[in-house]
Amino acid sequence: MHDFWGLALLLAASMGLVGCASELTGARQAAAPVTTTTTTTTTITPVESTLAAAASPDTTEPAPATEEPAVRAFNGRSVPRSPVDAVETAQLLEEVEAGLRDDSLDAAALADLGHQEQVLIRTLTRHPEWVEEVVARSTPDVARVLELHLSARTELSSLHTAPPLASIPAWEIIEPEPLDDLIGHYQAAEAATGIDWQILAAINLIETGFGRIDGLSSAGAQGPMQFLPTTWEEVSEGGDIDDPGDAIAGAARYLVRRGALDDIRAGLWGYNNSDNYVNAVLTYAELIRSDERALRGIYNWEIYVGTEAGTLWLPVGFRAEEPRSAADYVAENPWAETLPPSGS
């Protein structure tokens, strides 16, 4: 139906469970004339500040002078902590999941918490020997969230086994639409077609990270739901392939055409011919259905690419008009390697 080899592969490979780690397949590295990425590194506030705010939002005492300042990316986003053992992972996970369900936190705080959640989940896929202890130290609700995350990533890890990339693909990373707007699009599509909105949200996550990866498919797939133009003509009803609302509605109509109202697995198989893909979509949909606030976490997951220089963070604002040396990128931006090497 469309060029699937999108974010699903980067999600899978960048977990460290397979050889390559690129949210888009290497085949999608469309070359272009010049590289325009400009990055810098600055040192600002403690990385723990968001978690502290979640735990005690009224605290006004300054951070101790001995706390190490956090490094920030070129767009001002703070770099999340990478835990060193199961005990620290469990503690951070409890704090993060509580924060994501705190209705008093603003969008910036939720963004930091979502990114921290992502790093914790990815770290556990690199350290499966920690999982049992982390689960044992977690509350039942957090343990269930963790189970669903790890299950989805296990499915995605089976989708791609190519080696790590020498170069970062020619990508642009952009801001997604606000979460409330996206939920509105999903729910409008459900009302029009009968396709569960959580399924549409899960597809949007897996395909383009809710629209963060913009328009760089060498096979021709376009937009936040990754349609081939020929398929888009069949379901667009005059909409814009790059418009999130139109694309989400088109995806729902496509699933209906593929029989999803009678058999959701069959419909998703039509979207992408992979049981692993189908299972991952259904698992993320179950996560969202069990607690809509889980979207606050996964909506704020960042884009990572697995390279020979490590699994590297590409923040919003990254732009490379042609493939860029991963070694050069991480040398200029050491904060980009926020995950430990596999097996470390």
Strand partners, 72: 42, 78
Strand order through the sheet with 21-22: 21-22, 303-307, 310-314
User: What is the per-residue pLDDT across 205-237, written as a single tens digit (0 to 9) for each?
Assistant: 999 999 999 855 545 788 999 998 999 999 999
Domain of 73, in residue numbers: 1-344
Give the residue from 135, 171, 163, 196 showing the smallest Cα distance to 302. 171
User: What is the per-residue pLDDT across 5-22, written as a single tens digit (0 to 9) for each?
Assistant: 344 444 444 333 222 333
Statement: residue 299 has pLDDT above 50: yes
- With bands split at pLDDT 50, 70 and 90, how would you rate the model's confidence at 70? low
* Rounded (10°) CA dihedral 267, 304, 96, 47: -160
* Rounded (10°) CA dihedral 246, 264, 228, 34: 80
User: What is the per-residue pLDDT across 174-191, written as a single tens digit (0 to 9) for each?
Assistant: 999 999 999 999 999 999
Angle at alpha carbon of residue 72, lines to 297 and 167, rounded to 5°: 85
- Residue 292 has, within 13 A of its CA and on its CB side, a CA count of 9
Residue 200 phi, psi dihedral angles, 5° rounding:
-65, -40
Distance CA 132, CA 121 (A): 14
pTM, rounded to two decimals: 0.81
Give the residue from 52, 126, 47, 121 showing the smallest Cα distance to 90. 121
If one counts the domains in the chain, the total is 1
Mean pLDDT of 140-160: 92
Q: DSSP letter for 334, please.
A: G
Residue 42 phi, psi dihedral angles, 5° rounding:
-130, 160
Q: What is the pLDDT of residue 338?
A: 83
Mean pLDDT of 27-38: 33
Per DSSP, helices labelled H in the chain are 7-13, 49-55, 86-100, 107-126, 131-137, 140-157, 179-193, 197-208, 229-235, 244-257, 264-271, 275-290, 294-298, 326-332
- With bands split at pLDDT 50, 70 and 90, how would you rate the model's confidence at 341? low
